[in-house]
Amino acid sequence: MRTTPLLPLAPRPYGDELISSWQARVAARYSRQSADIEAWLGLDSSTDNDFDPDPTSVWRWSRACRIRPAVVEALALSRNAASLGYVRQSRWRGICPACLEGDRRNGRDQYLRRHWSRAETVACSIHRVRLRFSCLKCLRRCDFRYEYRDGLAELICSGCMRAVSRAPPSHFELRYAGLLIATMEAIDDAEKGRGETKLADIRKAIRFLWSGSVNHGRPEITFFGVQDIKGPASIPVNVDAPLTCLSMTWRSSTLLTMAQMLDISSAQSEFGPPSDCLTFAFQQFEKNITSSQSLTTRSSTGKKSRIDLPPRSNSKYFRAVAAITKDPRWHAISTLRGRQRSIALSRLARSLLDLLEG
């Protein structure tokens, strides 16, 4: 039987700390990384320690640090349900520099909070700032580690070694922070069955934003333009819980766009209402969900229900095309380039569908 070695010094985990954060603080005591301690304990460092940690890993870490395994097990994210899921990859999570700075000033180790891993958490409701996901000095993204300084564990940038928490909030970290927090609170209220917005509507809006557009296949969110984000956007791997697979920037944009769609906290006064074509696309998305649910239901005889859609007449198509070619937007397309041209074509195509539905 393998004897688990003991660590002479090991900090205790905080009640709202990520398991991986606690393990990193333990390793930092010895100027090591978590993977070094796991190798020393005979464990596989590639496993996920935050969501549903391996019992053997929990037992050996707990034994080495002289604490009860139940204390560590209670920190697993799987113990607390999140309506929109958790962000599994650490590079997509953020941190609140003000919370970390409060740790340091109060004479305790800095640590990563578990609720920062919730898919909808993109800002700190206490300090009214967006979560930080990159070093403000060298712009290195989500590459932070612990180092003991003045007897306390402090989160630093792995690139420039600068303390992450000591830089004041940037303009970007303050922009729309209030609206993001209001949207997060609306999600929390919906999860608890209170408030004006229903959880089903929130989930539906997020799934729509990350579904492929009819004409281009690109995510619908790229046609809203609430935030101008550089770089391509692709359909997330988890289409049922898109936020769990997105970067901090795209999750923030998703919450702001959803707030515009559902007019959470009067977001439409800031961004204006969505265009008619995008509103129509969302309505069609809702219809498609309802239709797919109807198609998969079975009658009491065990047969699938059938929906017969009447074909449209040729004259209806001709009238719709004639109306579109007379639209001033049709003639303006030749003057557009790139993304603006794609957006204009998409809107015209949806207007055509609208005419056919009428």
Q: Record the pTM.
A: 0.79
- Structure token pair of residue 281: 């696309």
Ranges of the chain whose pLDDT falls below 70: 1-2, 228, 230-232, 289-314, 317, 338-339, 342, 346, 350, 352-358
What's the confidence (pLDDT) of residue 350?
66
Q: Beta-carbon neighbour count of residue 128 at 10 Å?
A: 14
Q: What is the pLDDT of residue 341?
A: 72
115: which 2 tokens? 């609720």
Rounded CA gap, 97 and 102, in Å?
Answer: 8
60-70 pLDDT, tens digit each: 999 999 999 99
Residue 355, pLDDT score? 65
Domain extents in the chain: 19-79, 90-174, 177-271
